[in-house]
Each structure stands twice: as structure tokens, then as C-alpha cells.
A and B are shown apart, each in its own frame.
Chain A
Amino acid sequence: MIHISDEDFIALRAHGEETYPHECCGVLLGKSEASGNRVHLIVRAGNTRTDSAHNRYNIAPQELVRIQRQARGLGFDIVGFYHSHPDHPAQWSQTDFAEAHWFGCSYLITSVEQGRAITTNSFLLTGTSEETKTFQNEQVIVGAPAAPAMAAHKGEA
């Protein structure tokens, strides 16, 4: 499972609404714990796929290097990524799978229909090689874990 605050969860969904009808993308910084990845900060990234931004995304490696440095400075790691699927289900596509290389990281996908964020699902990239990798559905726990009013979303907002 992945743990994320209300604020960050709302923010990454809002990002998808802002960039509609184009895909948004960003990086999740935090820590990997026994209970799953825990997000402490989300960082918006630019989508370099301006040729097909409605159904493709790419984060420039230079921007990833910068974000990884930012994470290191804050004592965090890159624990996942998020992007949106405009007018498309919040499920991984074959393109998402083929381009996924960050084992142990969470890939959050938000469906945005007619400009409104609908569903957010998370998939953990498991396996140890390109040949054995799989996307595993994982539960999204929204809210601070210690808070009594913690809300658990089973992959759906």
C-alpha cells in the first residue's frame, strides 16, 4: 500500500484537472517502509511529450536528476510517480508498463473525465528485472496514519 496525505492526494488530482486534456506527471518523494511507500512531498514535473500530450507523458531526465537531488537534500527518496489519463480509465496501459523501470516504486494514475478527476489508483512495480516485472494493485491510504479520522481509499477517490 501507499500512504499519502490528504493535501498531496488532492494536489496531484488537481494537477490532472489543470493540465486536461493533456496528461500531467510528477514525482512522489518519501520513504519506503515495511507497510509500503510513504509520500512526504509531491513534486510537479513537466510533460515533455508535447507532440502527444493527451495520451503520453515523459519527464525529462534532467528534471529527474534535479528532483532526485532535491529528495536527497530533504532526506527523502523517490518512492513513486503520478500521471493522469484524460478521458481514459485509471488503469495502467501497455505503454505505462513498457516504460516502467523503477522497481519498488508506486505508479499513481488518475482518470480525468471532461476536466474532472474521477478515480485514482496505484500500482506497485514488482519484480527484479525487465523480464519478471509486474504491476501490482496497491491500496491508497489517504491521510496521516496516526490521525483518528484517517480515510482509506481503496484506490478510488
Chain B
Amino acid sequence: MKIHIPTPLRSYTGGKETVEVAGATVAATLDQLATDFPELRNHLFTGEGKLRSFVNVYFNDDDVRYLPSKEETAVSDGDELTIIPSIAGGSVCFAGFCCCL
């Protein structure tokens, strides 16, 4: 199946925006992706093997976190995964510290 890679991670996929990876489930496909492109693993997963909290994965048009079977959702060749890191922020100070430059 196709996996769409966001701009900041393409340096680890040889510059490719889209890669083809085989797998029976979302989790297996992501693991295979990190096997095919080892430098991606640390960017996608924590040391415990969980998806990093700021890494969103979409299965076609659905957020994997909200699917009934989540990462164990079965996939087929015609499906697509999109990896999209979160984007957020704001002027508010973080954890009580205000240290704008």
C-alpha cells in the first residue's frame, strides 16, 4: 500500500513523497516502513514502540486513533496511509515559563 511521507521525514526515504510498503495491518505496515527506512523509526515511535503523540496517521480519510481496531485495522493494497505530524503552538507561556527571545 502507499504511504505518504511528510516533508520533514522525506530525508529518510530518499526524498520520496510516497513509498510502497506491504503489511496486513496499519501497525504491521508502519513497522515494515521503519524496517525499510530504519532512520524513520525514532521519528515515528517511542522507545517503547508506541507511535509518538505528535505523529498522526491517517488510514485513507480516517484518523487511526479513532478507528474501532486502531492500529490493528486490516489494510489492503488499494488503501493509503498518510503520516502527518501535528502543528500547534501559540503565544501562551509553557509550563509557567515565558521565554520569548
Binding site for B on A (CB under 8 A): 23, 25, 27, 32, 49, 52, 55-59, 61-62, 64-65, 68, 72, 77-79, 81, 83, 85-86, 88-89, 91-105, 107, 125, 129, 137
With A62-B63, A94-B98 known to touch, is A78 a contact of B91 (CB < 8 Å)? no
- A interface majority secondary structure: mixed
Contact of B87 among A59, A91, A92 (CB under 8 A): A59
Interface size on B, residues (CB 8 A): 31
Q: A102 to B92, Cβ gap below 8 A?
A: no
Which residues of B are found within 8 Å of A64, using beta-carbon distances? 56, 84, 87
Given known pairs A61-B56, A101-B86, the reply for A88 and B7 (CB within 8 Å) is: no
Other contacts beyond A56-B90, A57-B90: 5, CB < 8 A? A62-B61, A78-B7, A93-B99, A94-B94, A102-B7
B7 pairs with A105, CB closer than 8 A: yes
Q: Report 11 cross-chain contacts, Cβ distance below 8 Å, ordered by A residue.
A: A23-B90, A23-B91, A55-B91, A61-B63, A61-B86, A68-B6, A81-B87, A95-B90, A95-B91, A95-B92, A101-B87
Closest A residue by C-beta to B100? A91
Please measure, in the bound complex, the distance between the C-alpha atom of A39 and the C-alpha atom of B54, giving whole angstroms.
Answer: 25
- Binary A-proximity of B15-57 (CB < 8 A = 1, otherwise 0): 0010000000000000000000000001100000000001010
Residues of A within 8 A of B42 (CB): 129
B87 engages A94 (CB within 8 Å): no
| Chain B min CB distance to A111 (Å) | 9
CB-based closest 3 A-B pairs: A94-B94, A56-B90, A96-B89
Are A93 and B88 neighbours in the complex by a CB distance under 8 Å?
Answer: no
